[in-house]
Amino acid sequence: MKKKTTIYDIAKELNITAATVSRALNDNPRISAETKKLVLEAATRLNYKQNRVAQALKSGKSKNVGVVLPYINRNFFSSVIRGIEEELNPKGYYVIISQTHEKENKEIDIVQNLLDAQVDGIIISVSRQTNSNKHFNQVLAKNVPLIFFDRKKEIPGTSSVTLDDFNGAYRATKHLLEQGCRKVAHMTIDLSLLIYQNRLGGYKKALAEYGIEFNPEYVIALQSEITAGKDAAKKLMELPEPPDAIFSATDLGALGAIQHLKEVGMNIPEDFCVVGFSNEPFTQFMELPISSVDQNPVLMGKTAAKVFLEQIDSEGVKIEKNVVLDPTLEIRTSSQKK
């Protein structure tokens, strides 16, 4: 078996001390730029690999950050991960990604495993089932930075990066009303989660501004799936006074609704308007492009990573930061009458 290169091999190659090599590899300001350059070149030439475990024990930092999310196979969440990695990787941090599949017990296990792995921080979007705060309090008790994104819990000592869901829903509903729609329905997901409560609130505010009475029959819950969107649209269109527009809290729900509306002979947007939420990539490439609220997921990921870096560099000073990003309404064919 080939012997691994050590800092002593680099020191012998350059005729300097091992301590100098170690300081150069760790970017110590006491070492000149010229020496650092020679050490890095020799390290590359000799195929030297730093022992990250030893480094972690020495520095007290693992350089690992846990990212916990409901599902990785959603464009929104994968884009958030991209933003986190783009911000953290250049700083020498690695990301450990875990999925809860919307289950609280799985989330609790994941958080405990990340703590056991001595991660330097946890960035998380909570599952739909999560009610307990016990596992989050354990994170705080260990002085590990905890940053929520998209879905959050109100816990002192934590930070969050979220979207202004209320304003996004308000803009989407107002846009439909500006197109002349007066019977706007709302497809929601899970009103136990704050983000969907806020989207419902924004929808109601727009209706109130236009003097339109809120109709609970026009609010229907669904899973974030195309078939659920179709079923919900079918129920809405069977009402004695069916709606003339839908604001959906999910793009997949909007897609399902459009499929049903086309099947029953509705012309979109002439007869019926639809707006979704999330701005999934498919929305702009459909034969009928779908209007949607953009959640800016890459920016959300980058911002969450920056909040983590601020906390890790704060030298023990507790930082509690809550960043709210501004949504963008992308108007396309599915809702543009005028």
Give the torsion through C-alpha atoms of 8, 13, 19, 21, to 10 deg: -110
Question: Of the ranges 12-16, 60-64, 207-211, 327-331, which one carries the lowest mean pLDDT score?
Answer: 60-64
User: What CATH code is carried by the domain that includes residue 117?
Assistant: 3.40.50.2300
Please check whether residue 242 lies inside any domain of the structure. Answer: yes
Pull the structure tokens for residue 62.
Answer: 């693992």
Tell me what the pLDDT averaged over the chain comes to.
92
> How would residue 29 be classed by pLDDT, with cut points 50, 70 and 90?
confident
What's the rounded Cα separation, in Å, for the pair 271 and 246?
12
What's the rounded Cα separation, in Å, for the pair 72 and 303?
19
Q: How many CA atoms lie within 13 A of 25 on its CB side?
A: 20
- The per-residue pLDDT for 26 is 75
CB 329 within 8 A of CB 173: no
What's the rounded Cα separation, in Å, for the pair 237 and 201?
23
> How would residue 126 be classed by pLDDT, with cut points 50, 70 and 90?
very high
Pick the more confident residue, 73 or 27: 73
User: Which pairs with CB-CB distance under 8 Å and at least 24 residues apart come from 210-219?
Assistant: 210/174, 210/177, 210/182, 212/177, 212/182, 212/184, 215/183, 218/183, 218/184, 218/185, 218/186, 218/243, 219/185, 219/186, 219/188
Name the residue range of residue 178's domain: 165-295+329-335
CB 96 within 8 A of CB 117: yes
Are 175 and 245 within one domain? yes
- The per-residue pLDDT for 54 is 54
Are 283 and 170 within one domain? yes
Q: For residue 18, is pLDDT > 90?
A: no
Within 8 A by CB and 6+ apart from 90, the residues are none
Please check whether residue 1 lies inside any domain of the structure. Answer: no
- What is the tens place of the pLDDT at every residue in 301-336? 999 999 999 998 876 667 789 999 999 999 999 999
Top-confidence range, 36-40, 62-66, 202-206: 202-206
Are 194 and 251 within one domain? yes
- The per-residue pLDDT for 52 is 57
Strands ordered across the beta sheet of 146-149: 94-99, 64-69, 121-124, 146-149, 159-163, 322-325
Are 251 and 176 within one domain? yes
Please check whether residue 2 lies inside any domain of the structure. Answer: no
- The per-residue pLDDT for 261 is 96
Q: For residue 163, is pLDDT > 90?
A: yes
Are 78 and 137 within one domain? yes
pTM (predicted TM-score):
0.81
User: What CATH code is carried by the domain that includes residue 14?
Assistant: 1.10.260.40
- What is the tens place of the pLDDT at every residue in 206-236? 999 999 999 999 999 987 677 899 999 999 9
Are 67 and 125 within one domain? yes
* Tally of domains in the chain: 3
Q: For residue 62, is pLDDT > 90?
A: no
Are 182 and 287 within one domain? yes
Please check whether residue 290 lies inside any domain of the structure. Answer: yes
Burial of 294 (0-12, 13-18, 19+ CB in 10 A): middle
Are 291 and 169 within one domain? yes
Please check whether residue 258 lies inside any domain of the structure. Answer: yes
Are 275 and 169 within one domain? yes
- What is the tens place of the pLDDT at every residue in 144-158? 999 999 999 999 999
- The per-residue pLDDT for 87 is 97
CB 160 within 8 A of CB 324: no
CA distances from 84 to 97, 143, 232, 296 (A): 11, 21, 35, 13
Please check whether residue 179 lies inside any domain of the structure. Answer: yes
Helices (H), the chain: 7-14, 18-25, 33-45, 52-59, 75-88, 104-116, 134-141, 165-178, 194-209, 226-237, 251-263, 282-285, 297-312
